[in-house]
Amino acid sequence: MRIVFAGTPAFAVPSLRAAHARNEVVAVYTQPDRPAGRGRGLTASPVKLEAIQRGIPVLQPLSLKKKASQDALRALAPDLMIVVAYGLILPQAVLDIPTYGCWNVHASLLPRWRGAAPIQRAIEAGDDETGVCLMQMEAGLDTGPVLLSQRTPIGADETGGQLHDRLAELGAQVLRDGLGLLRAGIRPVAQPQPEQGVAYAHKLDKAEARLDWSLSAEALARKVRAFEPWPVAEAVVAGERLRIHGAVAVAQSHAGSPGQLLAASRQGLDIACGDGVLRLRVVQREGGKAITAADYLNARRDLAGA
C-alpha cells in the first residue's frame, strides 16, 4: 500500500512506527515548526523528527483547504491516509483523495470524549475505563464510524501522562490490526457511533488548572491526576502559590473553610475542601522543582507541626 501519515505530537509516534512497519508510508504531514523553549527557537514536532530518522519525506502545509495542498496530496496517489492528533481540519475534498479514505486513531471509546483532550477529560470525570478507536473519518468532529476499538481500565492513581503513554501504544496496536486486515483484503466493518452517550473533550486551558477548594476532594484529586504533566494543577497554600503534581482525597470531616490548611506532616499538606480533605503529596514552588511534602516542610519551618 501507499500510506500517507498525518500527525504531530508524541502520541502519534507509535502509530507512525506501526504504519511504516513495511516501509509503506510515502509521506508524513505534520504541523509547521513552532517556537518552543526558553529561547523560543523553532522546534520540529515529534512526528517530524521520527519521520526524518526513518527517511520519510515531510510536508508541513499551514492548511489543507487550498487546492495546491490538495493537489500535492493527490500526486502522492495514497491508498490510505492515517491521521493521529494532526491538529488540522481535513476538508471533505481531502477525505475523498485516498482509495480507502482516511483513518483516525482516537484516544477514547467513541462517542464518549470526542474532541481535543479525551485522555484528561476521562480521568477528570472519574471514568473507570477508556480505550482507543480506529475510526473512518468524515467531515464531523470525531463522528465517523468505528472500525476497531480496544478497551482498558483507568488505574486508580493513573495520571494523564501515564494514560497518554499507554493509549499511544494501544492505538498503535489497533492500527496494526486494521492494517493487517486491509492487507489481507478484508475491509474492517464500519460501525456507526451510537447517538447516546456523546461527550465532548474540550481543549485544556491553563486557566482550568487553578483548584477550586469548594469542590469535593475526590473531584480535585482527579483534576490533579488529569492535569499531570500539563497544565499542572495549582493553588495558593498557606500564603504561597504552589503547583500540585500529586495529591489524594481523604474521606475526613472537618470544620475548616475551603482552602484552609488543616494539617502539615511528612505525609502531606491537608487542605479543607467542600467535601473531604485533599492531601498534597508532591508540590512545586515558583522557580523550583517538584518535591515531596516532607521536603517542602523542611523549607517551610513555619508550617511544621501545623
pLDDT of residue 287: 93
Contact, 121 vs 43, CB < 8 A?
Answer: no
Cell numbers at 143, concatenated: 463522528
pLDDT higher for 162 or 303? 162
pLDDT at 35 over 90: no
Spatial separation of the C-alpha atoms in residues 25 and 51, rounded to whole Å: 9
Find the mean pLDDT for residues 195-221. Answer: 96
Quickly count: other Cβ atoms within 10 Å of residue 222's Cβ.
21
Spatial separation of the C-alpha atoms in residues 9 and 86, rounded to whole Å: 8
- Name 145's Cβ contacts closer than 8 Å, sequence gap at least 6: 135, 136, 138, 190, 191, 192, 193
* Cell 472519574 -> residue: 126
Spatial separation of the C-alpha atoms in residues 266 and 297, rounded to whole Å: 7
pLDDT at 303 over 90: no
Per-residue model confidence as pLDDT tens digits over 84-136:
999 998 999 999 999 999 999 999 999 999 999 999 999 999 999 999 999 99
Residue type, 39: G
Contact, 106 vs 142, CB < 8 A?
Answer: yes
- For the chain, what percent of residues have pLDDT higher than 70? 99
Contact, 149 vs 134, CB < 8 A?
Answer: yes
Contact, 116 vs 202, CB < 8 A?
Answer: yes
- For the chain, what percent of residues have pLDDT higher than 90? 93
Whole-number mean pLDDT of the chain? 96
